[in-house]
């Protein structure tokens, strides 16, 4: 995508008569700033919801500007604007012969402008997507962050690009090749408990997972919890089907590649120690039939939630039955 945008930009600059209009779905300042780096050799004028008399200002920029090379007009986060202002801007963008970039966190708003580029955050349960994003931020800071530390950073900070960028920037001042001790000392904890901790606790058949879940569902929709748990259980079922319970480091890396799952997640499932952390080997706690029964129960809860039944109670009740009752063992 970056390659395509770069080529498009070069084409626009070479042929002044063409008009560049880009609409960007983005929910973080870090992503927006990275996108705008492609236009560093152009003058940019930024308009946002706090700009005084922004419609008058945009009228001047989009229709009355008379320079040899017009600036790029950056319209930031139009989802924060009034409906009538957005309606006016949509019409103005269609009529202007100026270069303009409009960003929003709301895809429904951008659809009214036209086709848009999707730079939004990964879904909260997309662990691989967040690992890739941490790698991207780290690379921009010339950092080498190992896989086990990426998952630790995500656990502490949570799925928020701007907070991750802030904490990684702070960490980069300490070291370009941080250790586990560096992460634990200098990266702030914003989420506690979190989904990763809950899934490990529940799949490890720890009774404390019920209390963890009660705290999680106060701020996280049950469907997000369900889908995260579902994905991890499916990976567990696939690994159990291999009829292998002991894993070396090479085995962990091979399984990560075969199942398209992060190395830290595989290490968690098989109890392989990463740094100072060593968990239970879930392959020795579960059999294939039990995991399938649990997956069916999780799917029943998902259906109940979608029907409008009490989502928190349905999920907590199911987790309680599997961790507090021997009937499910």
Residues 4, 167: Cα–Cα separation, whole Å: 30
CA dihedral 194, 195, 201, 205 (to 10 degrees): 150
Domain positions in the chain: 2-118, 127-186, 195-324
Is the Cα dihedral 262, 131, 297, 259 positive or negative?
A: negative
pLDDT at 18: 55
Q: Which CATH code for domain 127-186? A: 1.10.8
What is the number of other CB atoms lying within 10 angstroms of the CB of residue 168?
Answer: 22
pLDDT digits (tens, 9 = 90+) for 294-322: 999 999 988 888 887 777 888 888 998 89
Measure Cα distances from 231 to 134, 235, 264, 280, 296 in Å. Answer: 21, 6, 15, 19, 13
What per-residue confidence (pLDDT) applies to 193? 58
- The alpha carbon torsion through 87, 88, 94, 98 (nearest 10 deg) reads -140
Chain-centroid distance of CA 206 in Å reads 28
Gap between the Cα atoms of 105 and 31, Å rounded: 12
Q: What are the structure tokens assigned to 305, written together?
A: 């939630």
Please give the Cα distance from 230 to 236 (Å, whole number). 10
* Angle, helices 209-216/195-203, rounded to nearest 10 degrees: 150
The domain made up of 195-324 is a member of CATH 1.20.272.10: yes
Peptide bond into 193 cis (omega under 30): yes
| CA distance linking residue 223 with residue 315, whole number of Å | 9
Number of other CB atoms surrounding residue 295 within 10 Å: 16
CATH architecture of 2-118: 3-Layer(aba) Sandwich (3.40)
pLDDT band of residue 274 (cuts 50, 70, 90) is low
State the pLDDT confidence band at 124, using cuts at 50, 70 and 90.
confident
Predicted confidence (pLDDT) per residue in 64-113, tens digit? 755 556 788 999 999 989 899 999 999 999 988 888 999 999 999 999 99
Among residues 148, 201, 138, 228, the alpha carbon closest in space to that of 175 is found at 138
> Mean pLDDT lowest for which of 100-114, 132-146, 148-162, 208-222?
208-222
Helices (H) and strands (E) in the chain, counts: 16, 5
pLDDT for residue 305: 82
Question: Model-level pTM greater than 0.75?
Answer: no
């Amino acid at each position: 995508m970056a390659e395509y945008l770069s080529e498009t930009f070069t084409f626009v600059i070479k042929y002044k008569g063409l008009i560049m209009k880009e609409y960007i779905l983005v929910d973080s300042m870090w992503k927006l700033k990275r996108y705008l780096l492609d236009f560093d050799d152009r003058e940019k004028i930024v308009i946002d919801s706090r700009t005084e008399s922004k419609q008058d200002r945009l009228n001047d920029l989009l229709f009355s500007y008379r320079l040899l090379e017009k600036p790029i007009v950056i319209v930031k986060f139009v989802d924060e604007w009034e409906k009538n202002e957005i309606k006016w801007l949509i019409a103005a963008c269609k009529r202007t012969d100026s270069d303009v970039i409009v960003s929003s966190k709301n895809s429904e708003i951008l659809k009214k402008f036209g086709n848009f580029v999707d730079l939004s955050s990964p879904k909260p349960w997309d662990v691989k997507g967040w690992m890739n994003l941490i790698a991207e931020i780290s690379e921009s800071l010339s950092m080498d962050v190992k896989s086990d530390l990426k998952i630790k950073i995500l656990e502490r900070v949570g799925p928020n690009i701007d907070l991750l960028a802030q904490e990684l920037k702070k960490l980069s001042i300490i070291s370009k090749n941080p250790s586990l001790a560096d992460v634990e000392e200098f990266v702030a904890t914003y989420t506690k408990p979190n989904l990763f901790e809950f899934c490990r606790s529940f799949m490890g058949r720890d009774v404390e997972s019920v209390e963890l879940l009660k705290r999680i569902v106060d701020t996280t929709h049950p469907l997000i919890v369900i889908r995260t748990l579902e994905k991890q259980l499916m990976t567990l079922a696939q690994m159990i089907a291999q009829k292998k319970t002991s894993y070396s480091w090479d085995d962990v890396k091979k399984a990560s590649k075969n199942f398209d799952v992060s190395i830290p997640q595989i290490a968690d499932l098989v109890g392989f120690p990463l740094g100072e952390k060593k968990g239970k080997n879930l392959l020795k706690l579960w059999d294939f039939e039990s995991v399938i029964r649990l997956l069916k129960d999780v799917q029943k809860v998902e259906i109940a939630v979608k029907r409008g039944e009490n989502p928190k109670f349905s999920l907590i009740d199911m987790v309680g039955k599997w961790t507090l009752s021997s009937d499910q063992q």
